[in-house]
A and B are shown apart, each in its own frame.
Chain A
Amino acid sequence: MKKLEINKISVAYNDNQVLNNIDMVVKNNQRLVILGPSGCGKSTLLKVIAGLLKPSSGEVFFEDKILFSKNKGIDILPEKREMGFVFQNYALWPHMTVYDNIAYPLKVRHWSKDKIKNRINNLLDIMNLSEKKYGKPNELSGGERQRVALARALAFYPKMLLLDEPLANVDAALKTQLISLILEMCDNLKIPMIYVTHDQQEAFEVADSIAVMREGKILQIGTPKQIYSEPKNEFVAEFVGNSMVINDGKIKKAVKPQDIKIHPKGRCRGCVKRVVYKGNCCHLHVDDNKKDIVISVDSEEYKVGENIRFDIQKAHIIEDTNDREMM
């Protein structure tokens, strides 16, 4: 079941601790998304797994084989790790055609010419790129380039797919389309994937489990539902769960806008500062003297300046205590 295992991986540049004692397991066919703000170390972690970056301590195993071990002095070269990698900036070679780009991993593996041709034609068919076969990367659109990059990463049947913010440069309409394509390809090959992004919407669309990272640490790993409704700390609650964190005496509560109800006899009171139309609902930004509280309502019946009373109907208590030291 276990495919990839990461044990106590740390990376430091000079005095800057980029990754701090990371532990992680990826199972067969799992779609793990590493989610975090920029600079949190998520791309660095991906590079460690790919072998592009040497950690300062720890171990990486893949199918019970050691890929990296500081203590045993083992570091398998990236070209021997058999992992497909998709870069944010596509990393297509501008001097080669689409065909040659995809053929590269097959040529270095000494596939026969016919086999290469069949594989590439097949891939280009799936990716709907057959007409661009002999085009150069600079003649392609952003979405097409990302499809070529994906085809190239999967051409040689890698054992795992790593994606580093693959859709950061793609517009919203194309995103959904490309995500389905990525998921379909991975399912067909029956390989696990690790997908790095800073966009929580994207994370929910892709993941069957999410790891939230911040400042070189993994704060929480779980299914999207767990991450969303049972955040273990303040950061996860705010960054992923769209929640407000409210201090209630000694305990912290994560509250979502839709879990607050306006009620004439509500226990809390506040003044409406701003009304934001969200399409399917409205968000009221309410000032209750301590914190800006967001309440989700169905209609635009409330006006700025109005005093309202409300109740918090559901809250998730945050247990994590490590969080405080990090803040």
Chain B
Amino acid sequence: MKKFSNKLNIRSVKKCFNTSNIVFLILSILIVLLFLYPIMMIFKNGFIVDGKFTPEGYIREFTNKNTWIALLNTIKMAFGVLFITWFLGGSLAFLVERTDYKYKKIINLFVFLSFCIPSYIISVSWIQIVSRGGYIHRILKLIYPSINYSFNTYSLLATTLVLSIHLYPLVFFGIRNALKKSSISLNDAGRLLGGSKWHVFLKITLPLILPSFVSVGLLVFSRTMANFGVAAQLALPAGISVLTTGIYKAMSELDITTQSVLSVILILTSMSIYWVMNSYLNKRNFFFEDERKEKKHNKNIFSLGKSKVFVNVVVSIYFILTFILPLISLTISSFTKRWGLKLKLENLTLRNFEILFFENEFFKRALFNSIIFGIVSSIIAVSLAVVIVYFYKTNKNRKASFIYKVASLPLAVPNIILAVGAIFAWINLPIKIYGTKWIIIFTYIMLFVPIIIKQVKGLADNIDDSMDISAKTLGIPILGRIIKLFFPMIKKGVFSGIAICFLIALREIPISLLLYAKGNETLGVMLFTIQSNAYGLEMTSAVSIIVIIISIVVNIVVKKIGVRRAGL
């Protein structure tokens, strides 16, 4: 009898330690340490003033006028970018999807290429073009030698414009896809029932794609709020502060409390906006049934007619201003001997690139670090993300959904705050990696896991559940099921996820800027600090050109892989 009960105990203990529970345990520990702990630390540190636990820090910051100004500026900027990108991206998408405009392919190409230029680099070209001594000033000087040029290069408006130019492609892609998907017969029905084309457009087409405007707007809004590089470059010199630059400033003043409180405000603001828009979307979630492939014969509902010339001129001017001019300015500057020299043939040189590739140790190290950090962290992130998605898919219970939700959390958290959290969490034991390259890699992992999850999830959702169950009944162990069955089906998502993460690692600024130590600089750090060093704008331009070229190549690879871009 005793023997029997012993056996029973062993069996129930064994039952507790089945694979699913073990995987859950390991994942929970990893997820909590990696994702939850850093973000919790930010909340906690806001309550600590001089080593004591007190709400004083919050009270101080909330009664400080500057906090409110920074918050207001952030929101102003975000709404500005939102409306400008809605207008720009929306009208271009309309032009491409609903009119008989002739050069649609060119629009698609230019928007795609604009999308490949990092925002920070656009702001560099902005400075080159409009600042005193910039290209516009020089051209004007040629015409009116005695001109007194003064243009407000650094302002919140400049930041808003540059971010709009960087982010409008997201709206364009989103709205274009929505228009593409929205059934032509819905539109035809309106016409046949007596509505004119404009009436149908306003009453039927537009309301139907409104949810897409909101969801892509959400992305633009949170990207703008989270942006650090452009605000630091274009707003800070004019003494204008937004939340991200405030956090950076507090950090350089070693004011941990302020830094934490500002981070909390930023997290809460962006999360509440996320919540508001999301609840709107849940209410208006239309589904289109039976979207059989319709012939697109009457897709071009609006004929441009006589306004064709006008549209051509506007579109040309638009792309010249937002894409070609910045690119030309960067290219010319990257070949000049020194920023500010007259544009003569003898002042042009290949020396900048020569220095970068053969002499400048800093650049070589930064490029090497960015690539290595990107590869190492995206590989680790992929392994983690695949396991998480698999676990979520095969165990649709509370445990799985907890892991999934926590791992997706960083998606709603600005990069700079991830960096702040990383410092707080990993400056002390149990994981003491501050000052090493591992802190950057760990933070990248935090950033990448949700992005890869998003890429993979859609593909995973399409896999039938019986696939895994049938493999289980055939006796294939869990690791075998993940590697041999699950992975091949989500491969596309994994590869495009890796490419996207690699690109982010190559271009991001705030994480590495806050976390680097000597020897661990990345391209982002180099771009941000280079101007204050001896190199100046011509060197920045040369680095920018290299980053743009790599971006375009990687983006084309992602496009070729063929999974929907998550948006960079």
Contacts and interface: CB of A to CB of B under 8 A. Distances in A.
A89 interface: yes
B212 to A, nearest CB: 13
B297 A93 contact: no
A52 B188 CA distance: 7
Contact of B191 (A13, A78, A92): A78
Given A53-B298, A89-B290, A109 B194 contact: yes
Contacts of B188: 50, 52, 78, 85, 87, 91
Contact of B185 (A81, A83, A89): A89
Given A89-B292, A94-B208, A104-B193, 17 more contacts: A53-B298, A77-B196, A78-B191, A88-B292, A89-B289, A91-B185, A91-B188, A93-B186, A94-B286, A95-B284, A104-B190, A104-B203, A108-B195, A108-B196, A138-B287, A153-B193, A169-B290
A105 B193 contact: yes
A84 interface: yes
Interface of B: 183, 185-186, 188-196, 199, 203-204, 207-208, 284, 286-292, 295, 297-298
A156 interface: yes
Contacts of A88: 290, 292
A83 B290 CA distance: 24
Interface string A110-124: 000000000000000
Nearest to B195: A108
A84 B297 contact: no
Contacts of B298: 47, 52-53
Interface in A121-168: 138, 152-153, 156
A79 interface: yes
Contact of A85 (B192, B203, B290, B292): B192
A50 B192 contact: yes
26 contacts: A13-B295, A47-B298, A50-B188, A52-B188, A52-B191, A78-B192, A79-B193, A81-B192, A87-B185, A87-B189, A88-B290, A89-B185, A89-B291, A91-B185, A91-B186, A94-B286, A94-B287, A104-B193, A104-B195, A104-B203, A105-B193, A108-B194, A108-B195, A109-B194, A138-B287, A152-B193
Contacts of B204: 93
B195 A79 contact: yes
A318 B528 CA distance: 84
B192 A108 contact: no
Contacts of A47: 298
Contacts of A87: 185, 188-189
Contact of B297 (A13, A50, A90): A13
A163 to B, nearest CB: 12
A90 B298 CA distance: 18
SS class, residues of chain A in contact with chain B: loop
Contacts of A77: 191, 196
B194 A105 contact: yes
Which 8 pairs between the two chains have the least Cβ-Cβ distance?
Answer: A105-B193, A94-B286, A91-B189, A91-B185, A89-B290, A85-B192, A78-B191, A108-B194
Contacts of A104: 190, 193, 195, 203
Nearest to A85: B192
Contact size class for A? 20 to 34
Interface in A59-94: 77-79, 81-85, 87-94
A299 to B, nearest CB: 43
B297 to A, nearest CB: 6
B185 A95 contact: no
A138 B286 contact: yes
B281 to A, nearest CB: 13
A83 B192 contact: yes
Q: Of residues B191, B196, B199, B284, which shows the largest number of chain A Cβ atoms within 10 Å of its Cβ?
A: B191
Nearest to A138: B287
A79 B194 contact: yes
A156 B298 CA distance: 24
Q: Of residues A51, A78, A138, which shows the largest number of chain B Cβ atoms within 10 Å of its Cβ?
A: A78
A257 B192 CA distance: 44
Contacts of B292: 88-89
B193 A156 contact: yes
Given A53-B297, A104-B195, A108-B195, A95 B286 contact: yes
Contact of B208 (A79, A95, A169): A95
A108 B199 contact: yes
A84 B191 CA distance: 11
Contacts of A82: 194
A109 B193 CA distance: 9
A302 B33 CA distance: 78
Contacts of A89: 183, 185, 289-292
A167 B295 CA distance: 20
Contacts of A13: 295, 297
Contacts of A90: 290
Q: Of residues B185, B199, B284, which shows the largest number of chain A Cβ atoms within 10 Å of its Cβ?
A: B185
A68 B156 CA distance: 56
Contacts of A51: 191-192
A253 to B, nearest CB: 38
B564 to A, nearest CB: 22
Contacts of B193: 79, 85, 104-105, 108, 152-153, 156
Nearest to B199: A108
A45 B194 CA distance: 20
A116 B190 CA distance: 17
Contacts of B183: 89, 91
A93 B292 CA distance: 16
A54 to B, nearest CB: 8
A153 B188 CA distance: 12
A108 to B, nearest CB: 5
Given A93-B204, A95-B208, A79 B192 contact: yes
Contacts of A85: 188-189, 192-193
A273 to B, nearest CB: 37
Given A52-B298, A85-B188, A87-B189, A95 B194 contact: no
Given A52-B188, A52-B298, A79 B196 contact: yes
A87 B204 CA distance: 16
Contacts of B189: 85, 87, 91-93, 152
A156 B288 contact: no
Contacts of A109: 194
A156 B192 CA distance: 11
Nearest to B190: A104
Contacts of A52: 188, 191-192, 298
Contacts of A79: 191-196
A152 B286 CA distance: 20
B298 to A, nearest CB: 6
Nearest to A142: B289
Nearest to B207: A95
A95 B190 CA distance: 13
A84 B192 CA distance: 7
B292 to A, nearest CB: 7
A82 B191 CA distance: 10
B215 to A, nearest CB: 15
Contacts of B191: 51-52, 77-79
A232 to B, nearest CB: 30
A104 B194 CA distance: 8
Nearest to A105: B193
